[in-house]
Amino acid sequence: MASCDTCLVRNRAICAVLDGDELQSLNKIGRTRNIAAGEALIWEGDDSLLVANVMEGVLKLSTGTGDGREQIVGIVYPADFIGRPFGARSQHTVTALTDARVCTFTRGDFDGFARQHPELEHKLLQRTLTELDRARHWMLLLGRKSATEKMATFLLEMSERLVDASCRATDGPLDHFTLPFGRQQVADILGLTIETVSRQLTRLKADRFIDLPSRRDIVILDRQGLADLTG
C-alpha cells in the first residue's frame, strides 16, 4: 500500500503543507499506480475522474485537432499535480513519456479533502498560478517565435527544468541532459514538424551551440549563444 512516509516527493508536492495526521488521512484515499511509458492516464473530454501527484517519471499534457494534429500543452515532472479538480471535464490527455509512478485520488475524494484543508488548496492555487504563467509564456513562443528561436528557448528551458528530474545534487541549469522526448514530441511542443526540429538541431550542432552525443542527449556548449537566439 501507498505510504507517504517513503514518498520521494513528500517535501516538494502539494502534500508538503500537511502534517502527519492529515497526511495519514490523505494516504487512506490515495492509491499508488504505475504507468508504463506511452500509456495514457486521463483522456481529453473524459469526465475527470481522477487527479494525482507525480512521484516519478515525466508525463505530457496534450490536445489535438480532429484530423490528428497534436499540441503538447504541458509537461509534468515529479512532485507536480495532474488532473482537473472541482467538477470540470478534463480538457487534455495525460500520457506518460517515461515509466512513471503516480499517487492517484478519485476526484470526489480529493475535492472533499481539499475543501477541508485550506492550506492544501492554497498550495494548489500557487502551483496553478505558476502553471498559468508558464502556459502564457509558452504562447509567446508558439505565436511569435521562429523555428530557431523556439528551439533555443526549448533547450534552455529543458536544461533548467530537468535539474530536479536528474540525479544531480547541484543547483543551476544542466549542461548535459537527456530529453524524455523523441523528435515528434519536441515538434508537438514547439508547434513545428519533425523535419524542422531535426534541421534546427543539426544546424545548432554545426554552429557549435550544442552537441548531440546520442538521439536524446543534449550537451549545451554555448549557453550565452543560445540565449542570444531565443528572441
Binding residues for its own copies restricted to 34-63, rule: CB under 8 A: 61, 63
**Which listed range, 19-27, 116-124, 159-167, 210-218, lies at the site for DNA (CB under 7 A)?**
210-218
Binding residues for DNA restricted to 33-92, rule: CB under 7 A: none
Q: In what order do the strands lie in the sheet with 40-42?
A: 40-42, 93-96, 59-64, 70-76
Query: Please, are residues 121 and 114 in contact by the beta-carbon 8 Å criterion?
Result: yes
Unique residue bearing C-alpha cell 556548449: 221
Number of Cβ atoms within 10 Å of the Cβ of 115: 12
DSSP secondary structure string for all residues of 118-176: HHHHHHHHHHHHHHHHHHHHHHHHHHH--HHHHHHHHHHHHHHHHHHHSS----S--SE
Q: Residue 230, interface with DNA (CB under 7 A)?
A: no
Q: How far is the CB of 196 from DNA (least distance, A)?
A: 3
Q: Residue 136, interface with DNA (CB under 7 A)?
A: no
Binding residues for its own copies restricted to 116-135, rule: CB under 8 A: 118, 121-122, 124-126, 128-133, 135
Q: Residue 192, interface with DNA (CB under 7 A)?
A: yes
Closest CA to 96 of 158, 218, 180: 180
Closest CA to 96 of 160, 168, 42: 42
Which is nearer to DNA, 2 or 204 (by Cβ)? Answer: 204
Query: Please, are residues 130 and 74 in contact by the beta-carbon 8 Å criterion?
Result: no
From candidates 77, 105, 138, 177, binder to its own copies by CB under 8 A: 138
Give the binding site for its own copies (CB under 8 A): 61, 63-67, 69-71, 73-74, 84-86, 88, 91-92, 115, 118, 121-122, 124-126, 128-133, 135-140, 142-145, 149, 190-191, 231
Give the binding site for DNA (CB under 7 A): 146-148, 182-184, 191-199, 201-202, 212, 214-216
